[in-house]
């Protein structure tokens, strides 16, 4: 059983509190910190938390606390982590880890120097569908991964601080791109080094300084490419999708909008439908078990079991640092309109990986380009001559 100090009583703090009673059903929030006393008091009442405070260090240093969960605005993450290091408290932090790579690196180095357990709360990597898809990729079901795409789009975040570039560090790239980067990286291979990033970003609709829409490509050393699409201007709810293409197959994952649960309502008697839903009338797309389907239950189970067993969880502060480095490159590319290099000052994967050959042998003289069965029943091969480069057809 873990005794948790929850830092933050807002939207994500309550999502975390709800999911803590998911798979394990034995962990307990014993202290809640909030910047507003009324929010801390209400949270304590709602979740039966014995201690509430507006002093962050008081919550972290509480002698009952075994692990600290950071659910705060991005600009407060580093302060909270440094206090956890000071008091030698295990720490798990919401995404993104930091506002930029420099902050993330300081936090990573601090927790490792302090020797404390650290976990990065990237919930969407823990969604049941994503976990299953990653397992299939690892088992070789779709061959070598060539391209991985992740999309998260919705009408925008819930709290005011997200819309403040200084507090958040950026716009939809910081808010949503961190999810997509870690998801696509998990399919391509977390030990494969990213090389460069090309990104388009703009403020198309919202009256803010940060970007509200962005699309990016990430090249990896082995020749694979990742793509993320993120938006705060999408209308119609929350769209969470993944696509993975390999040499032997393809995976499509839809986590939210089209999950097989559809409902029509006039709006009478309908209240909450799903996160980011824009209406409670018309055709609606509820989610069966939101905290589970979004990965929160599996995430906390992995975090606490890893802590208790003395091992690293699937996602650590290093992974958060990795995402911040990629996002820094994306912002730089959006400004320069060029491919920008990925500046990973700390790299813990393979080095010198060359691009994998895409040539498939057919016989001693030819490579196989394509094999198919036609609508009239013949098997046809497209071949390339190794010496001349000539492309030919062969009917078998």
43-71 tens-digit pLDDT = 999 999 999 999 999 999 999 999 999 99
> Could you read off the pLDDT of 112-166 as tens digits, one per residue?
999 999 999 999 999 999 999 999 999 999 999 999 999 999 999 989 999 999 9
* pLDDT of res. 327: 98
* pLDDT of res. 255: 87
Of residues 318 and 296, the one with the higher pLDDT is 318
Residues 171 and 205 in one domain: yes
Domain ends where: 103, 122, 141? Answer: 122
Number of domains in the chain: 3
In angstroms, the CA 346 to CA 325 distance is: 10
Torsions phi, psi of 395, nearest 5?
-95, 125
* pLDDT of res. 18: 86
In angstroms, the CA 376 to CA 364 distance is: 29
Report the length, in residues, of the chain. 396
* pLDDT of res. 22: 65
Residues 66 and 142 in one domain: no
Q: Can you give the CATH number for the domain in which 203 is found?
A: 3.30.360.10
Give the closest residue to 52 by CA, choosing from 100, 114, 9. Answer: 9
Q: Looking at the predicted structure, is the pLDDT value of residue 376 above 80?
A: yes
Q: Looking at the predicted structure, is the pLDDT value of residue 383 above 80?
A: yes
* Cβ count within 10 A of residue 335: 11
Domain ends where: 122, 152, 176? Answer: 122
* pLDDT of res. 182: 98
Q: Looking at the predicted structure, is the pLDDT value of residue 317 above 70?
A: yes
In angstroms, the CA 172 to CA 80 distance is: 23
Residue 330 token pair: 């994306």
* pLDDT of res. 337: 97
Of residues 268 and 30, the one with the higher pLDDT is 30
Q: How confident is the model at residue 270 (pLDDT cuts 50, 70, 90)?
A: low
CA angle 48, 50, 53 (to 5 degrees): 115
Q: Can you give the CATH number for the domain in which 94 is found?
A: 3.40.50.720
Domain that holds residue 72: 3-122
Residues 146 and 289 in one domain: yes
Domain ends where: 66, 94, 122? Answer: 122
> Could you read off the pLDDT of 230-252 as tens digits, one per residue?
999 999 889 999 999 999 999 99
Comparing 21-35, 83-97, 235-249, 272-286, the range with the smallest average pLDDT is 272-286
């Amino acid at each position: 059983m873990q005794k948790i100090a929850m830092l933050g009583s807002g939207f994500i703090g309550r999502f975390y509190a709800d999911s803590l009673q998911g798979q394990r059903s034995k962990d307990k929030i014993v202290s809640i910190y909030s910047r507003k006393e009324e929010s801390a008091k209400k949270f304590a009442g709602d979740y039966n938390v014995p201690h509430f405070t507006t002093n962050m260090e008081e919550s972290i240093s509480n002698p009952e606390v075994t692990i600290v969960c950071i659910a705060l605005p991005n600009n407060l993450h580093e302060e909270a982590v440094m206090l956890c290091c000071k008091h030698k408290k295990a720490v798990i932090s919401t995404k993104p880890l930091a506002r930029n790579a420099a902050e993330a690196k300081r936090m990573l180095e601090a927790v490792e120097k302090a020797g404390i357990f650290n976990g990065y709360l990237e919930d969407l990597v823990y969604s049941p569908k994503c976990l299953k898809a990653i397992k299939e990729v690892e088992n070789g079901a779709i061959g070598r991964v060539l391209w991985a795409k992740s999309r998260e789009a919705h009408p925008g975040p819930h709290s005011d601080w997200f819309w403040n570039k200084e507090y958040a560090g950026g716009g939809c790239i910081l808010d949503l791109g961190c999810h997509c980067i870690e998801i696509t990286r998990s399919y391509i291979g977390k030990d494969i080094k990213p090389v460069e990033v090309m990104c388009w970003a703009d403020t198309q609709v919202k009256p803010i300084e940060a970007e509200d829409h962005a699309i990016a490509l990430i090249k990896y050393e082995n020749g694979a490419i990742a793509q993320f699409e993120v938006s705060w201007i999408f209308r119609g709810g929350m769209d969470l999708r993944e696509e993975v293409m390999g040499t032997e197959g393809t995976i499509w994952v839809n986590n939210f909008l089209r999950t097989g649960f559809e409902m029509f309502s006039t709006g009478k008697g309908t209240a909450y439908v799903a996160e980011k839903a824009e209406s409670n009338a018309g055709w609606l797309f509820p989610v069966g078990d939101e905290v589970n389907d979004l990965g929160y239950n599996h995430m906390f189970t992995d975090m606490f079991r890893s802590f208790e067993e003395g091992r690293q969880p699937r996602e650590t502060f290093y992974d958060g640092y990795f995402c911040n480095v990629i996002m820094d490159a994306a912002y730089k590319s959006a400004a320069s309109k060029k491919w920008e290099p990925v500046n990973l000052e700390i790299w813990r994967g393979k080095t010198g990986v060359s691009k994998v050959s895409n040539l498939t042998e057919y016989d001693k003289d030819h490579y196989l380009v394509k094999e198919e069965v036609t609508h009239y029943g013949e098997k046809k091969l497209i071949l390339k001559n190794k010496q001349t480069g000539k492309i030919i057809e062969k009917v078998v």
